[in-house]
Structure 1
Amino acid sequence: MGHQSGDNLLIAAAGRMKKAIRENDTVIRIGGDEFVLILSGFKSKEELIVLLNRILEMLATPFMFEGQRVSLSASCGATIFPEDDSSISDLITHADAAMYVAKAKGKNTWVIHANQDNGNKTAGLVSLRNTLK
């Protein structure tokens, strides 16, 4: 699979993520196979967890791409604002660090940055890395 084909597959993956999230949420490709998702309006941490699991499930479903069945795995790291009361840059850094912890745990998993509690959540920031199998 060439570079352009890989890009097209990542565009298809972004499309699946957009289908998994809500209308007011955002998917941003920040480079390579990394995406940032800006999610808002959670009433609980559990709502974020349900959404993270839905994203991973949708990405784990094989793609039919250029006549081939292609599987992706993903690692998600999340942080929650305002509990993680940091600058935008630090929020991305925290979500990215959590994503690397998730990646070390194995494929198709997520980790929420450790500064979180179980109170009301107004926004989540998710860093996501896709890996071609």
Structure 2
Amino acid sequence: MVNDTIRKFGFPETLVRDYEYWVLLLRPAQVTLGSLVLATKDDATAFGNLPAGAHAELARISAEVEAALSAAVDYQRINYLMLMMVDPHVHFHIIPRYEGSRTFENLEIWDKGWPGPPDLKSAETMPEEVFHRLRQRIMQFWLLTY
């Protein structure tokens, strides 16, 4: 099932990993390098209304996300933000955090909020071809690890 929130974040072109209850997407506007969106396939607009299986699956997903992003972007901290102010379906913005910047294909992305909250307004849209290569790079870490 694909809801409006999943569509808004560019599915299927942004898909990194498909799970039973969730999809993991590369965030079209990168707050920091490797920013993701984890969105439920359900139509739930409240976290507590998700099926039990969706909650259980989060343990596996968070372990995979943290391992893959650590390898891909060498983050120092990670933020899971469930804001749901604009997009109503349950979803998290996953923001890898680091002091300074990270570079991918000569594109440097700074963590402009470090060490405080992430600066969501500083999100950068990458050239399409670079974005797709970053998506492929992050997907490779799942193939190597899981």
TMscore range, shorter length: 0.3 to 0.5
Greater per-residue helix proportion: 1
Greater per-residue strand proportion: 1
